[in-house]
């Protein structure tokens, strides 16, 4: 997903640390050097651990090692280095959610995780503030959750964090400090472990603050101040919180569970390993179903809300999580085969005779190739192929470069493919605030390009997107 991000240095340098644990030290983008703490076996999750204002020193190092013992790969982040680097950027506000997600993606690709784990954010002191802000500003389903150790809601930076999808803040001292307001829009757990004897971030203030956060859990540590120096006084509670987040149902599972209440009688979900989200439509309109493919950030709140708007208009939706499905390389032929099987199943289940193919960002670039590789009998049922913010080239594997919005050696020419499927009614959509270069390339090369108001997310105006699609059926 081409989101607002801080500067990104693509070069990665691995340095073997000459200590007994053989931790890796990686020099990566705005974070500078980060330390990788490995579990004894295969990691079952990834933790991004952000230090306090003291930097990456002995206290947080010991914490990271303890966390790694929970079958987690831990990435140690020095908040001082991160702030020093992003402070150089000419931006109005900071968006650490994008940087943290990109770091997670690169680490999991580099260490060959078999599938992508939504990272758990852990922060100590100032790091806990940053972790909370990242969770609040990110789209749903970006992070698995946050554990905050010694949490204060104020951040002493020259600029505040961007609002994103659910964060607001207020100025404490102009150009020096800001207060991150409690959010009622969180969709992942936010668990605070707070010392009852904390004088730097008073316990009473934490209690008051957490009452206004919708996914909160405050765990009181009776024998802890702000330092967390005695492991036995907080580690058991941390393990409990950590396991709670690990065992939280995935975003996809939650949405599919919600969808069950709207299922038609005798409805049978497709038995598959494909990462699908099903959105039923209660409307009785004789409209096609939509098969949607998300951006490379996965099936987030943007995709979900767009799907729900299609549903309100009378179009049921089958949504594919691109980050999950394309984590490992696919081919257009394999993708078309997998998706055609799912579409045929749901055409039957919903008693539909036609469908549309919709892709957003990464998904927008791959849908023309998938449509072009459908069997002829399925092509006859397509009412349109709709690409929301496509790029000029596509890839069938998630890469860091894709998420950063930087061109890579993608070998699939999207414009050429769109022109091959003119009979399938391909339509491209762009936001008015997106790159004119990409849009004009499409406008001069393909038959139908529609300009909608807004940015890469079309200002989250889902009604406008769906209405435009319906007009071009």
pLDDT given at position 22: 66
Q: Does 251-471 match 13-246 at the fold level?
A: yes
Q: What is the pLDDT of residue 328?
A: 95
Burial annotation 67-94 (CB, 10 A radius, 16+ → b, else e):
bbebebbbbbbbbbbbbebbeeeeeebb
**Residue 109 burial (CB < 10 Å; 0-12/13-18/19+)?**
middle
The residues that bridge with 219 in the sheet, in sequence order, are 193
Q: Where are the alpha helices (DSSP H) in 126-272?
A: 126-137, 203-210, 235-246, 251-259
Give the pair of three-digit tokens for residue 393: 């080239």
CB crowding 19-45: b at 16 or more within 10 Å, else e: eeeebbebebbbbbebbbbbbeeebeb
Q: Which residue has the tokens 């939509």?
A: 290
Domain formed by 13-246, architecture: 3-Layer(aba) Sandwich (3.40)
pLDDT digit string, tens, across residues 438-464 = 999 999 998 899 999 999 999 999 999
* Domain range annotation of the chain: 13-246, 251-471
Considering all CA atoms of the chain, what is the largest pairwise distance in Å, rounded to the nearest integer? 70
**Strands (E) located in 213-299:** 216-221, 276-279, 289-293
Please give the pLDDT value at position 198: 97
3-state secondary structure 413-438: EHHHHHHHCHHHCEEEEEECCCCHHH
Question: What pLDDT, on a 0 to 100 scale, did the predictor assign at position 411?
Answer: 78
pLDDT value of residue 14: 39
16 beta partners: 24
Q: With residue 462 as reference, give the H or E element that holds it.
A: helix 462-471
**Under DSSP, is residue 221 helix (H, G, I), strand (E, B) or coil?**
strand
Are 442 and 428 within 8 A, CB to CB? Answer: yes
Find residue 221's DSSP bridge partners.
195
Averages of pLDDT over runs of 10 residues in the chain (473 residues) are 39 38 86 97 96 93 92 97 97 97 95 96 98 96 97 97 96 97 94 97 96 92 95 95 94 88 84 94 89 96 96 96 96 98 96 97 98 98 98 90 47 94 97 93 93 94 97 95
Element (H, E) at 471: helix 462-471
Q: Which CATH class is domain 251-471?
A: alpha beta
pLDDT score recorded for residue 258: 85
Q: What pTM, to 2 d.p., does this model score?
A: 0.88
Structure tokens at 229: 């120096």
What's the rounded Cα separation, in Å, for the pair 64 and 57?
11
pLDDT at 401 (0 to 100): 55
Residue with tokens 């009998």: 377
Is residue 156 within 8 Å of residue 176, measured between CB atoms? yes
Position 370 scores a pLDDT of 98
Closest among 95, 18, 82 to 52, alpha carbons compared: 82
- H helices of 284-435, in order, are 301-312, 322-325, 332-349, 362-372, 376-379, 400-404, 414-420
**Predicted local confidence at residue 402, as pLDDT:** 43
Structure tokens at 326: 């394309």
């Amino acid at each position: 997903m081409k989101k607002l991000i801080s500067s990104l240095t693509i070069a990665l340098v691995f340095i073997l640390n000459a200590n007994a644990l053989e931790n890796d030290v990686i020099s990566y983008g705005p974070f500078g050097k980060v330390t990788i703490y490995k579990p004894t076996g295969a990691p079952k999750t990834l933790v991004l651990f952000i230090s306090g204002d003291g930097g990456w020193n002995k206290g947080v190092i010991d914490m990271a090692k303890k966390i790694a013992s929970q079958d987690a790969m831990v990435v140690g982040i020095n908040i001082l280095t991160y702030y020093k680097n992003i402070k150089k950027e000419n931006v109005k506000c900071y968006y650490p959610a994008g940087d943290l997600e990109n770091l997670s993606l690169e680490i999991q690709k580099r260490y060959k995780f078999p599938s992508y784990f939504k990272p758990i954010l852990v922060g100590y002191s100032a790091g806990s503030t940053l972790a909370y802000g990242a969770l609040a500003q990110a789209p749903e389903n970006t992070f698995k959750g946050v554990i905050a150790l010694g949490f204060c809601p104020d951040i002493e930076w020259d600029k505040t964090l961007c609002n994103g999808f659910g964060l607001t803040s207020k100025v404490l001292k102009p150009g020096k400090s800001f207060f991150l307001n409690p959010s009622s829009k969180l969709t992942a757990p936010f668990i605070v472990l707070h010392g009852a004897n904390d004088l730097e971030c008073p316990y009473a203030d934490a209690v008051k603050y957490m009452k206004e956060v919708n996914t909160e859990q405050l765990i009181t540590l009776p024998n802890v101040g702000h330092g967390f120096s005695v492991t036995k006084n907080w580690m058991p509670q941390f393990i409990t919180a950590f396991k709670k987040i690990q065992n939280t149902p995935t975003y996809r599972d939650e949405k599919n569970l919600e969808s069950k209440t709207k299922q038609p009688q005798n409805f049978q979900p497709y038995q598959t390993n494909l990462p699908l989200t099903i959105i039923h439509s209660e409307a009785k309109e004789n409209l096609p179903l939509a098969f949607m493919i998300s951006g490379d950030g996965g099936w987030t709140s943007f995709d979900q809300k767009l799907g729900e708007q299609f549903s309100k208009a009378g179009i049921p939706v089958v949504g594919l999580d691109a980050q999950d499905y394309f984590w490992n390389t696919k081919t257009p032929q394999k993708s078309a085969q997998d998706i055609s099987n799912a579409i045929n199943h749901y055409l039957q289940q919903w008693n539909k005779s036609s469908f549309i193919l919709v892709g957003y960002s990464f998904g927008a670039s791959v849908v023309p190739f998938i449509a072009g590789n459908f069997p002829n009998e399925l092509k006859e049922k397509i009412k349109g192929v709709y690409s929301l913010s496509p790029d000029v080239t596509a890839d069938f594997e998630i890469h860091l470069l894709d998420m950063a919005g930087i061109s890579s050696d993608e070998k699939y020419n999207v414009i050429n493919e769109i022109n091959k499927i003119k009979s399938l009614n391909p339509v491209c959509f762009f936001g008015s605030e997106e790159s004119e270069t990409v849009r004009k390339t499409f406008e001069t090369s393909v038959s139908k390009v529609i300009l909608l108001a807004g940015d890469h997310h079309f200002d989250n105006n889902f009604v406008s997107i769906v209405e435009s699609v319906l007009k071009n059926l």
